[in-house]
Amino acid sequence: MLSRLLSHDLPRSRWLALALVVIVLALALAPFLFPGSKALGVAAKMLVFILLVASYDLLLGYTGIVSFAHTMFFGIGAYGVAIASTRLGAGWGAVAVGLAGAMVVSLALSLVIGLFSLRVKAIFFAMITLAVASAFLTLASQLSEFTGGEDGLTFRNPEWLSPSFEPLEQPLLGVTVDGKLFTYYLLFAVVLVAVLVLLRIVNSPFGRVLQAIRENDFRAEAIGFRTVVFRTLSNVLAAMGATLAGALLALWLRYTGPDTTLSFEIMLDILLIVVIGGMGTMYGAVLGSVLFMLAQNYLQDLLKVAGAALEGVPVLSQFVSPDRWLLWLGVLFVLSVYHFPAGVVGRLRALRVAGARP
C-alpha cells in the first residue's frame, strides 16, 4: 500500500526513510509540537518551498532544463489570489477565481515560453527565462493599480482561514483552534497531495521519457519522442506547481508583494535547495527545504548563543557574530556541496549501496 502511494519510488535507504517519516510527522504535528508563531511560520514556509522546489526539480532534475522563470509563476499564483480577494472581497469564491485565473495565465505563459524557447540551446533558454522573469517583476512593481506596486497587496482570507475565527472556546491540547491553524493544515494537505502527484508523474512513462531527454535528447528524438512537446509539458506542469505554491503562500501571509514571491533571491534559494537535497528526486525537495529553512531561520539564533559563549575572545567572537549568519550559511552550503555532491538523498542512498556490498 505504501509502495503504491509513493508510486513504487521507495526511499531505498533506512536513514532516508526515517528522515522522511520524522519530517512528515513533525510537519503534521507542528502546531502542537512547536508552539509559537515563529515556529509555525517556519513550518508553513517549509511546506510552500517543498512544493515549489519539487515542481522546479521536475524541470531541472528530471528534464535537465535550467529556468529562471520559476519565481514568475510563483508570483502569478500569489498575485492571482491577492488581486481576486482584494477586488471580490473575502470568500472562497474569490480564492477559487484568483487561483483559476492564475493557473490560466501560467498555462499560457509556460506554453509560449516552452514552444518558442525550448528549441534553442540550454544557455539561451536560461537567459530568455531570466529576461522574462525580470520583465514580470518590473511589471508587477509598476502596475500599482492592480498589484499594489512595491507595497504589495494585503487582503482578507475566507472566514474559516481568518485568525479571528475561533470555533472552540477552549484550546485543544494547549493550542488555540483558529483560522491560522486551519490555514496551516490546508497547506499541509495540499502540499502532501501535490508531492504525491508529482511522484506519480516522474515515475510514469511520461517521467521516464523526461529522464531520457535529460540524459540524451538526441537519442530520445531518434527513438521517436518529440522532445519539444515533452519539454513543453514539463515546463507547464512545473509552472502549475509553482503557481499553486504561490497561492498557498499568499493565503498564509494574507499579503503578497514583489519581495515575497518574485525576487531573484527566492530563485537562488530554490537552486540551493535543489542542490542540497539532490537533483532528480522528489525526496530531495523535502529534505533540502527543511534543512535550508531551519538554517535560514535559526542559524542566527545559534550564532547568538555561540557569540555569548565566546564573548571576550578577540577574533573568534567576531566570526560567530549573529550579523555574519549569511557568511556561515554560505560556508555550510559549500561544505554540503563538497561532501554531498549528489545531495543529501544521493549520499544516503550511496551509503546504503556501499553497506550492501560484501
Per-residue pLDDT tens digits for 83-104: 999 988 888 999 999 999 999 9
Distance CA 357, CA 354 (A): 5
Q: Which of 97-101, 215-219, 253-257, 262-266 has the lowest mean pLDDT?
A: 215-219
User: Which is more confidently placed, 116 or 302?
Assistant: 302
Q: Could you report the per-residue pLDDT of 117-176, keeping only the tens digit for each?
A: 666 666 778 888 888 888 888 888 888 888 888 888 899 998 888 888 878 777 777 788
For helices 92-117 and 70-88, the axis angle rounded to 10 degrees is 150
Query: What confidence tier does 358 reach under pLDDT thresholds 50, 70, 90?
Result: very low
pLDDT of residue 49: 95
Please list, in sequence order, all residues whose beta carbon lies within 8 angstroms of the beta carbon of residue 19, skipping any fewer than 6 positions away. Answer: 287, 348
Check pLDDT > 90 for residue 114.
Answer: no
Query: What confidence tier does 109 reach under pLDDT thresholds 50, 70, 90?
Result: very high
Q: Which of 92-101, 144-153, 207-216, 347-356 has the lowest mean pLDDT?
A: 347-356
Distance CA 256, CA 288 (A): 24
User: Which is more confidently placed, 319 or 65?
Assistant: 65
Q: What mean pLDDT is predicted for residues 225-241?
A: 90
Q: State the first-to-last Cα distance of the chain, in angstroms, to the nearest integer.
A: 31
Exposed (0-12), middle (13-18) or buried (19+): which is 309, by Cβ within 10 Å? exposed
pLDDT of residue 245: 96
- Express as a percent the part of the chain with pLDDT over 70: 92
Strand partners, 175: 172
Distance CA 331, CA 279 (A): 20
pLDDT of residue 191: 96
Share the mean pLDDT of the chain: 86
pTM of structure: 0.92
pLDDT of residue 164: 82
pLDDT of residue 315: 65
Which domains does the chain possess? 2-356 (1.10.3470)
